[in-house]
Structure 1
């Protein structure tokens, strides 16, 4: 998400998305139940509230996308539960991770906040990817650039407009907040992304319980 974009574009103009009744399985770290993450998002979204063409992430579904597993219709219910079981065994060997959110990331399609440090999060992602591959034969994939950059999206762009006024209004950093990551969620996203028809299937926890 660097360098800074000069213009924002419509994220969904040419995006292929599931049709009615279809879904995509995602591994997400859901952080909407963390007060610190909610407060950070609310601060940023208030600064951006005066601009048109921005679709704000609902507080309930604030998240860090970890891995796209694949179309729901191609991964059976039994496989989904097996993925959760396998991932649970792998994540049990990893401790909870405390991350920092502050630095703003700008992309033509979205505005997000970086989640750092990345090394421990990559261990979590590697475990999730291994579980997905062992059960489904799919490695899963990352949306956007090949290099996975952990982030929490604050707003999606749904129109073309200059980026500079948005960058000026929001700035490059927000007040630092810390969040402790203890679980990863397998979520079925039904239909178009912006409708937020999310159906959590289950969660896996770090550490032994």
Structure 2
């Protein structure tokens, strides 16, 4: 596994807006994450994500002015009215090249949410201001970031054996946050606005 933080180093003090799914009101997601706590704690090469800061990034944006923040919200509201609330299954966890992530299924509806937010955000800040358009959105939730270069084969095998029950939630809104990186530890944020899906 490689060091996540080597390639994700923000300038000190920089804050970046993101569209997230948040899980503060989803106890089944908390239970799923806690089922991995002991295993992840055995590996000092990992920076586990605290329960309070669990999130699934939908779209990274970057620094926004107050005016841009309001404009992004206003662009997103009509876009998300066209995306109906949907069910999402969370799990299993797996090792990737720079951390431990959890799969989110099915991909079709959360991908539709991503593209709606992407288009609305581009209309305000411009496509060149946000990360390049992917050929395919990869929905995931991070449980831990790697803080070293190390052999994670034992961890990968342990995750396959662990397999706690998957969490199931209803996605009904997206949250625009003002995010900050705590270097080699975690990400924290301040919610800016919550935009409902469908007509809710």
Q: TM-score, normalised by structure 2?
A: 0.89
Is the 8 Å Cα contact of residues 114 and 137 (structure 2) preserved in structure 1? no
- Residue 4 of structure 2 corresponds to residue 11 of structure 1: yes
Deviation at 1:196, TM superposition (A): 2.8
- 1 CA distance for matches of 2:194 and 2:110? 16
Structure 1 segments (4+ residues) deviating >3 Å: 191-195
Residue of 48, 72, 80 corresponding to 1:83? 72
Deviation at 1:164, TM superposition (A): 1.1
Report the more deviating stretch, 104-113 or 195-204: 195-204
Deviation at 1:192, TM superposition (A): 4.1
SS of the counterpart of 1:152?
strand
Is the 8 Å Cα contact of residues 18 and 24 (structure 1) preserved in structure 2? no
Aligned pairs for 1:53-202 within 5 A: 53-70=45-62, 72=63, 75-138=64-127, 140-141=130-131, 147-171=136-160, 173-192=163-182, 194-202=185-193
Runs of 5+ unmatched residues, structure 2 = none
**Deviations along 1:105-135, whole A, 9 cap, x unmatched?**
3212110110000111111111101110111
Change beyond 3 A, Cα 1:155–1:188 = same
Is the 8 Å Cα contact of residues 103 and 141 (structure 2) preserved in structure 1? yes
Is the 8 Å Cα contact of residues 47 and 186 (structure 2) preserved in structure 1? no
- 2 CA distance for matches of 1:153 and 1:99? 16
Runs of 5+ unmatched residues, structure 1 = 1-7
Deviation at 1:146, TM superposition (A): 5.5
Report the more deviating stretch, 126-135 or 188-197: 188-197
- 2 CA distance for matches of 1:126 and 1:103? 24
- 2 CA distance for matches of 1:207 and 1:133? 21
**Deviations along 1:129-150, whole A, 9 cap, x unmatched?**
111011111363279x763210
SS of the counterpart of 1:162?
coil
Is the 8 Å Cα contact of residues 91 and 102 (structure 2) preserved in structure 1? yes
Change beyond 3 A, Cα 1:128–1:14 = closer
Is the 8 Å Cα contact of residues 24 and 69 (structure 1) preserved in structure 2? yes
**Deviations along 1:44-73, whole A, 9 cap, x unmatched?**
122222221111111112111111112x1x
Q: TM-score, normalised by structure 1?
A: 0.86
| CA RMSD across the alignment | 2.1
- 1 CA distance for matches of 2:135 and 2:54? 22
Is the 8 Å Cα contact of residues 83 and 132 (structure 1) preserved in structure 2? yes
- Residue 199 of structure 2 corresponds to residue 208 of structure 1: yes
- 2 CA distance for matches of 1:90 and 1:30? 19
